[in-house]
Amino acid sequence: MKMKNECQLITKLREGDKRAFKELYLNYADKLFYFSLKYTQNKDDANEIVQTIFLKVWENRSNINPELSFNAYLIQIGKNIIYRQYQKRELERKYQLYSKEHQVATTHNTEEYIIFSELEQKTRDYIGSMPEKRKQVFMLSRVEGLSHEQIAEKLGISVGTVKQHMNKALKTLNNKMLHDGLLIVIFCAMNL
């Protein structure tokens, strides 16, 4: 029996129904592919983004609100993924340019990988040291790509509280990076 009502599909998806997931995937995959392709200009990247979107949908299925626009939810996840990929690539590009201009020894990709790995690990450590609720809000926003409203609904807190947690989390990250001298490295790499 084919389920037609999207609200019913989402309700079933929330319960872990794989057929509902598959039908939603079939209904939206092509649209998301072309949406992603428009921004990435690369078919492989667009396919990867679609897969990541639906992975996030499956992982967060119990939190999806069937009353809200599922299309808008998918597009927002896609935008967040594309934006994060763009930021990462832009940072890498600017770091490489900075390295070449300042004759920093970057002849080996291993060195670049180690530097970025260390920055990433430090950032994870900073996030890990945050109070639990603040860390949870930060991860839902920056990793899962949820909006402040979606986070508030998911955690049962106000949007204002979500904003406070995000402001404190970002301020904490900035202060710790500045204290450890990491913000200067990132700033130099991003402002060439």
Domain-by-domain residue ranges, the chain? 1-81, 108-192
189: tokens are: 């790499």
Find the range with the poorest average confidence among 126-130, 131-135, 185-189: 185-189
**What is the tens place of the pLDDT at every residue in 16-54?**
999 999 999 999 999 999 999 998 898 998 999 999 999
Class of domain 108-192: mainly alpha
pTM of this structure: 0.51
Find the range with the poorest average confidence among 13-17, 23-27, 170-174: 170-174
Q: How many CB atoms lie within 10 A of CB 46?
A: 21
| pLDDT > 50? residue 90 | yes
The answer to whether 1-81 and 108-192 have equal CATH topology is no
Task: Please state which architecture CATH assigns to domain 1-81.
Answer: Orthogonal Bundle (1.10)
